[in-house]
Amino acid sequence: MPNGMITSNVIINVTANDTRRVDLVIGISYDDEITKAKEILTGIINADKRVLPNPAPQIAVSELADSSVNLVVRPWVKSEDYWSVYFDLTEKIKTTFDKEGISIPSPQQDVHIIAETEERQEG
């Protein structure tokens, strides 16, 4: 980290707090139902005993991206549970979405190739 950032910005030690928010961004296909995906995510979050009830977890549409509708999943946990919850939720979301038919799309790009005709090439 550059010295200028240290001397001119506020440094927050997130491990000094008792609780911490897990921030996940999960993309779903534009063809999938947002309501169904949010219900599944809510069920996954509620089933994890390490997720704290207060403040309440947040699940919301955050972006209409190029290849996906992005949802934020933001549960609060004890600081010592942060990484285990982060990793476990990520895996559980993927496996549950697979079972429930919710797709997590890969970024994609359409490429259109236009072939030139012989007349144009000769001229």
Sorted by where each begins, the domain ranges of the chain are 33-103
Q: How confident is the model at residue 9 (pLDDT cuts 50, 70, 90)?
A: confident
Distance (Å, rounded) from C-alpha 34 to C-alpha 101? 12
**Strand 19-21 relative to strand 76-78: parallel, antiparallel, unpaired?**
antiparallel
The residue written with tokens 């919301």 in the block is 60
- The pLDDT tens digits for 56-108 are 999 999 999 999 999 999 999 999 999 999 999 999 999 999 999 999 998 77
Instruction: Please provide the average confidence, as pLDDT, over all residues in the chain.
Output: 90
Which residues make Cβ contacts (< 8 Å) with residue 78, sequence separation at least 6? 18, 19, 20, 50, 52
**pTM, 2 dp:** 0.76
Q: Looking at residue 13, what is its pLDDT?
A: 63
Which of 3.30.70.100, 3.10.450.50, 3.40.1260.10, 3.10.20.30 would CATH assign to domain 33-103? 3.30.70.100
